[in-house]
Amino acid sequence: MSYALHYHRGIPGRGEFVRLLFVHAGTPFHDLPALPAQDAAQHFAPPLLRYTSAADAPPDFAAEVELSQTPVILYFLASRLGLAPSDEAGRLAVQQRVETILDLANEVHDVHHPVDASLYYEDQRDVSLRRAPYLLQLRVPKFLSTFAAQVSASGNGWLHSSGVSAADLVLFHLLEGLAYAFPRYFGTLKKEARFAPLFELQSRLRETESIQRYLKSEARTPFNEYDLFRHYPELDAEYTGKV
C-alpha cells in the first residue's frame, strides 16, 4: 500500500489532521504540495489523498482511490491504519467524534475570517473581535464538555471505548492549535478540572515516541498566521464563561 497526501506548503492546516494519523501509525506516506490543477469536478479544495495497493510506489503513482474532504480521508485511513474499531457501529461512532471536532476547528477558523475567507483578517478584525468571545467563552467549552463526557464514558482515557483512534489524534491537533492561537485562554481553561481528561489525552499523545519525534522534526510545519489556528493577541482572553 502507498499513500500520497497533497496539501498547501507552509501551513499545518487541515492536512495536519491527516498527517498525524500516518505519524502515529508509523506508516510512511508521500507528503506533497497541493496539486496545481485538481480534478475540479471531483475535488473542491485540499487536502487530497491518493492511494494505491502497490507497495513502495513512487510519489507520482497512478491512484486507485483519490479522495478530498478531510473527514472522508480520515474515515478511509482510520480503519487501514488501525485507528478505528473493527465493527461498523464503532467505526461510525469514531467518525462522529472526528466530525464534531472538525466542526469546532471550522468555528476557530471562522473567528479570524468571520465575514469571508477571501478577505484579509485585518479587513474583518472588527467582526472577529465581536465573535471571539462567543468562541472562547461559549462554543469551545460546550464542545469540550462533550469530548470530556466521551472520554469519561469510554473508561480508557480515549474518546472511544475501543482505544486510541483517529478521533483522539484529531482532538490532539485541535488542542495544540487552541493552545497556540489563544495561550492566555488555554492557560485558564487548563485549570478547569472538568476538562482535565482532555489535557491528559493531549499530553499522552504528545509523549508518544512517534509524535514526539515528528513534532521535533523538519516534517512538522509550525503554526503560523496563514493557518487555521492563528495567534492574534487581541482575540485572546482568559476563560470566564461570560461573553
Ligand X SMILES: N[C@@H](CCC(=O)N[C@@H](CS)C(=O)NCC(=O)O)C(=O)O
Residues at the interface with ligand X (CB under 6 A) = 13-14, 45-47, 69-70, 117
In a 13 Å sphere around the CA of 104, the CA atoms on its Cβ side amount to 26
Nearer to ligand X, 45 or 196 (CB): 45
Least gap, CB of 109 to ligand X (angstroms) = 8
Grid cell 508518544 in the structure block, residue: 208
Residue 189 CB neighbour total at 10 angstroms: 21
C-alpha cell belonging to residue 153 = 464514558
Nearer to ligand X, 14 or 91 (CB): 14
Least gap, CB of 15 to ligand X (angstroms) = 7
Least gap, CB of 226 to ligand X (angstroms) = 10
Q: Which helix (H) or strand (E) holds 33?
A: strand 30-33
Least gap, CB of 185 to ligand X (angstroms) = 23
Nearer to ligand X, 14 or 137 (CB): 14
Nearer to ligand X, 57 or 98 (CB): 98
Residue 47, preceding peptide bond in cis (omega within 30° of 0): yes
Residue 2 near residue 35 (C-beta atoms within 8 A): no
